[in-house]
Amino acid sequence: MPEARSTNPPLDTSARHQGLSRISVGDIAVRLFHERGYEATSATEIAEAAGLSRSTFFRQFRSKDDVIFADHDELLDHISAYFGQDHPDPWIAVCTAAIMVFDQFHARLNIVRLRDQVVRESEILRDRETVMVSRYEKTFSAYLRRQPGVSALAAIRFAAAVTATHNFELRRLIRAAEPFGPDELISALAEVRRLLRPSDGEADAAGTASTAPAPIVVAIFPASTPPADLARLIAERVGSAAP
């Protein structure tokens, strides 16, 4: 059976402006917010620390709260490109995309942990993070809804479960004393597929073709029928009902 595996393809982090990449500017902003506080740090100070003019900064980022989520923008672009490829199993493709996100944050764990501290201290950033998380869920759902035979409800339900499962494991990683890999996320997402992946006309959660339910035979006999005759007669009825 095909399985969602941990992958870590390189992100396209080529600069959208000359100089530092967007992610690098975002990392600078995270460190400044962590050192000085979110409210005490201005967009101008971030631009200066990154070697950018203020106008260049605002051409690349709408606000100072957007800049620290620049890696999310890159990841969402990367996932969209991944979904643009052919995948034999769209449910596994969505799980693989979630694992790709986990892998990228795992590779940048130090800065991701700093950002988590900054976000937890700012209501503005917590709200902004919630919006960002919803973009992943909507991207997963939109991809599934484009697949033949996938209902809108099935797509929305599956995307929500995958996103919630990923976020649970990512927060565990961020706050764990010792880093851990994606194995538990992979197992949890396999369980999501087992529970939520539709099976009507499609492969079931184990990756095998679904089959029609077995016929039900109802037989009525007198209570005085001897057990041996009863067993024989039932076997005959079941045999005659077989396709």
- Across the range 45-49, mean pLDDT stands at 94
pLDDT digits (tens, 9 = 90+) for 165-185: 999 999 999 999 999 999 999
**pLDDT tops 50 at residue 13:** no
Residue 130 CA: distances (Å) to CA of 117, 169, 208? 15, 16, 36
Q: What is the mean pLDDT of the chain?
A: 82
Compute how many other C-beta atoms are within 10 angstroms of the C-beta atom of residue 217.
12
Contact of 88 with 2, CB cutoff 8 Å: yes
Beta bridge partners of 122: none
Per-residue confidence (pLDDT) for residue 235, from 0 to 100: 60
Q: Is the pLDDT of residue 219 over 80?
A: no
Q: HSE (CB half, 13 Å, CA atoms) of 238?
A: 7
pLDDT for 18 equals 47
Neighbour-count burial of 27, counting CB atoms closer than 10 A to its CB (0-12 exposed, 13-18 middle, 19+ buried): buried
pLDDT value at position 231?
Answer: 62
- Percent of the chain at pLDDT exceeding 70: 74
Q: How confident is the model at residue 65 (pLDDT cuts 50, 70, 90)?
A: confident
Residue 222: what pLDDT? 64
Q: How far apart are CA 6 and CA 105, in angstroms?
A: 13
Using 50, 70 and 90 to split pLDDT, how confident is the model at 20? Answer: confident
Cβ-proximal residues to 80 (8 Å cutoff; 6+ apart), any chain: 139
Taking 60 as the threshold, does the pLDDT of residue 55 lie above it? yes
pLDDT-derived band at 229, boundaries 50, 70, 90: low
Q: Give pLDDT tens digits for 113-147.
A: 999 999 999 999 999 999 999 999 999 999 999 99
The pLDDT score that the predictor gives to residue 218 is 57
> Of 57-66, 76-85, 156-165, which gets the smallest average pLDDT?
57-66
How far apart CA 108 and CA 105 sit, in angstroms, is: 5
Going by pLDDT thresholds of 50, 70 and 90, the confidence category of residue 149 is: very high
pLDDT at 224: 62
Residue 218 phi/psi, 5° resolution? -110, 120
Query: What's the rounded mean pLDDT across residues 182-193?
Result: 96
The sign one gets for the Cα dihedral 170, 97, 193, 145 is positive
The pLDDT confidence band at residue 197, using thresholds 50, 70 and 90, is: confident
Whether the model clears a pTM of 0.85, i.e. scores above it, the answer is no
